[in-house]
Amino acid sequence: MSDEATWQTEYAIETTASPEAIWSIFRNVSGWKNWNAGIEQIDIDGPFASGTWFTMKPPGEEALRSQLIDVRENVCFVDETRVGDLTILVAHRIEPLGPARTRIVYAVDARGPQAAEIGPAVSADFPEVLASLSKLAGGAQ
């Protein structure tokens, strides 16, 4: 394992949106494409819960199968996507900062061949995605 390539980063935005408002948007998987331009089509195979698989198709690319591996209501969810020997984990965290302030964090952990190339490509639009999410949740920066 120690010779595996790894790449990690995270993006965050602070908002006035409540954790519950953010969570309701996360939970509505079929609606992700309305605020995330990196999704052309998405389908989930069951409830928004740990263990459930979903299929996401980025514009102009092949669809990817991912699995929700950790889902904690109003706190976070983590999805895992495997492409060959490459594994990409994305944690979507909701962190209350105090009255009417919440931080939304997207953390990426890519491991395996080409992690240093694929990781940045996967996360390039995260600042825009976070801004759209915050706006949709009714928050201001």
CATH of the domain at 56: 3.30.530.20
Task: Count other Cβ atoms within 10 Å, centred on residue 118.
Answer: 19
Range of the domain at 24: 6-136
In a domain? residue 90: yes
Question: What pTM was estimated for this model as a whole?
Answer: 0.93
Total structural domains in the chain? Answer: 1
Is position 1 within any domain? no
Instruction: Report pLDDT digits (tens) over 44-77.
Output: 999 999 999 999 999 999 999 999 999 999 999 9
141 domain residue, yes or no: no
Please tell me the predicted confidence (pLDDT) of residue 102: 96
- Please report, to the nearest 10 degrees, the dihedral formed by the alpha carbons of residues 110, 29, 11, 63 taken in order: 40
